[in-house]
Structure 1
């Protein structure tokens, strides 16, 4: 019998144990793919939200861990816009709201000037843009509008007792943006008691070369010591909220990985114990220790690779289902990066090695006389 057929035969001889261990590995891989995939999707969506508008630099308050906590004077816009190399500079106010009437939490409100390129780039599917700088009117992302069942002409209370008219609905290719509320910056400043303050500024440079942008960022930071300027792509990749989300995703996944490794270890130890006589006979027939190790590790890796395939499919399904939910659809695109699937497969291989090494060593240490004692 060929070596690989022997591995398959040994696994099929104990179908229930093999199936349960494979399922344990699949759950571990599913956790990695789903949690890390969603976290990576946040980063891609945030990066695309800025890059799709041609934004080169983002300006926030220096020293703030979370960008929504940033506070800068709106009057800095004119000073930054006057710098050589700046093609446009737009203020933005970002806050997070809870729409109690719809039981939706963590809804992002974006305050922009009605004449800004932010507002003018919105692709409306219904209604119109706000009529003026202080208008108590909002434009809803398509996913959010569907979630709360609102459209042009309806009213939404952003804060209890503070009604705003829905004047339009927009559609974006970016799922992150489809969950936003967009309104005039002056109206949001009044609502959040932040008159004269903004969260930050979006800057479009005259040159999009990375070296030129880095130089421009240094000039902008010289305008006011409170400003921290970052290239848009770098900001998305290094945002503290996303780093925390990514760390939590891996920490949570690691629990499932440990459980999966223990399941493989238990299965292979039981297999070696039950086949002591068989393995001792193989040693007596001339099998070297390395070949015995390869046999046991091969069985462990076969189980984990099956678990990797099943886990990746389960992870993709979980992310897709999350994208269909009312809350998840505002932030989860339903897509998973191929890199995450590769990471899931690597996790499975590591599980196979961790769970199979000790049993393989035990099997390799067997002597022919051990088979007689076992019988």
Structure 2
């Protein structure tokens, strides 16, 4: 019998145990791919939101854990206008609200001046632009429109007692923007009691290479103390909120990973124990210890690989389904990058190695005499 046939036959000979182990590994890998995939999607969506508008730098208040906590004076714009390296800039204010009556949590509000070119970049599928709308109007993304069952002309009470009319519904390939609210800066400042204050400034430089942007960032920091200036890619990769999301994703996944590793270890130990005579006979007919170890390790790795395939497919299906729901569809894109899938398979192979190493070592130490004594 060929070596590969022997490996598969050993696993198929105990179908229930192999299936249970496969399921445990699939759950572990699926948790990694799904949770890390969502976290990775957050980072890509945040980066796309800036890069799609050509934003090079983001100016925030230094030391704040979340972007919404940043407070900058609107008068900083007068100082930014004096810098030669800036092509254009825009002050923005951000808030996160819960629309209690509709049962939606964590809805992002983005606000810019009515004459900001950033507002012109939204692709309207219904209604008209904010620049042509009256007071107390806003735009909503398509997925938020679906979740709220609101269209142009309808009213949304963003803050209690503060009704706004939906001027238009826009569509964006960015999952964050598709589930957000956009309104004029002055209106959001009034609602948040932050007159003359903004959350951040987005900067478009006259050149876009890193050395030029680093020099420009240094000039902006020198305008006043307490400014944090980051290139958009660096900010997206190191944003505190995203770091926290990644840490929670891996911490939650680690529990499932431990269960998966223990499952493989238990399965392979039981297999070695039940096949003591068989393994001893292999040793008696000339099998080297390295070949015995390779047999057991191959079985463990095959279980891990099968679990990785099932877990990855399950995670992809789950995220695609979540992306179709009104609530989760505002934050889950349903896409999983190849890098995250690769991480899932690497984790699975590590589970196979960790779970199969000791049973393989124990099997390799068996002698023909021990096989004859085994009952």
TM-score range, shorter chain: over 0.9
1:122 is aligned to 2:122? yes
For 2:173 and 2:294, locate their aligned partners in 1 and report how far apart those are by CA, in whole Å. Answer: 49
The answer to whether the 8 A contact 2:115-2:131 is kept is no
The 5 A counterparts of 1:37-116 are 37-116=37-116
For 1:69 and 1:372, locate their aligned partners in 2 and report how far apart those are by CA, in whole Å. Answer: 72
The answer to whether the 8 A contact 1:29-1:307 is kept is yes
Provide the secondary structure at the position in 1 that maps to 2:222: helix
For 1:270 and 1:362, locate their aligned partners in 2 and report how far apart those are by CA, in whole Å. Answer: 11
The 5 A counterparts of 1:315-354 are 315-354=315-354
Which residue number in structure 2 is paired with residue 217 of structure 1? 217
- Give the deviation of 1:331 after TM superposition: 1.3
For 1:186 and 1:265, locate their aligned partners in 2 and report how far apart those are by CA, in whole Å. Answer: 62
Provide the secondary structure at the position in 2 that maps to 1:286: coil
- Give the deviation of 1:131 after TM superposition: 4.8
CA-atom RMSD in angstroms? 1.1
Q: Deviations over 1:54-92 (max 9, x none)?
A: 001100001112111000001111211221111111100
The answer to whether the 8 A contact 1:114-1:120 is kept is no
Question: Deviating runs (4+, > 4 A) in structure 1?
Answer: 131-134
For 2:130 and 2:295, locate their aligned partners in 1 and report how far apart those are by CA, in whole Å. Answer: 69
Q: Deviations over 1:245-291 (max 9, x none)?
A: 00110111111000000000000000000001111111111111111
For 1:126 and 1:81, locate their aligned partners in 2 and report how far apart those are by CA, in whole Å. Answer: 35
For 1:159 and 1:9, locate their aligned partners in 2 and report how far apart those are by CA, in whole Å. Answer: 64
The 5 A counterparts of 1:359-370 are 359-370=359-370
Which residue number in structure 2 is paired with residue 174 of structure 1? 174
- Give the deviation of 1:128 after TM superposition: 1.2
For 1:97 and 1:371, locate their aligned partners in 2 and report how far apart those are by CA, in whole Å. Answer: 68
Which residue number in structure 1 is paired with residue 237 of structure 2? 237
The answer to whether the 8 A contact 1:133-1:184 is kept is no
- Give the deviation of 1:228 after TM superposition: 1.0
Query: Which consecutive unaligned segments of at least 5 residues does structure 2 have?
Result: none
Query: Which consecutive unaligned segments of at least 5 residues does structure 1 have?
Result: none
Which residue number in structure 1 is paired with residue 357 of structure 2? 357
- Give the deviation of 1:121 after TM superposition: 1.0
1:284 is aligned to 2:291? no
1:259 is aligned to 2:248? no
For 2:189 and 2:10, locate their aligned partners in 1 and report how far apart those are by CA, in whole Å. Answer: 69
Which residue number in structure 2 is paired with residue 295 of structure 1? 295
Q: How many matched pairs? A: 375
- Give the deviation of 1:226 after TM superposition: 2.1
Provide the secondary structure at the position in 1 that maps to 2:183: strand
- Give the deviation of 1:130 after TM superposition: 2.4
The answer to whether the 8 A contact 1:109-1:180 is kept is yes
For 1:225 and 1:133, locate their aligned partners in 2 and report how far apart those are by CA, in whole Å. Answer: 38
The answer to whether the 8 A contact 2:111-2:183 is kept is yes
Provide the secondary structure at the position in 2 that maps to 1:223: coil
- Give the deviation of 1:159 after TM superposition: 1.2
The answer to whether the 8 A contact 1:59-1:202 is kept is yes
**TM-score computed with the length of structure 1 as normaliser:** 0.98
For 2:347 and 2:36, locate their aligned partners in 1 and report how far apart those are by CA, in whole Å. Answer: 12
For 1:130 and 1:187, locate their aligned partners in 2 and report how far apart those are by CA, in whole Å. Answer: 12
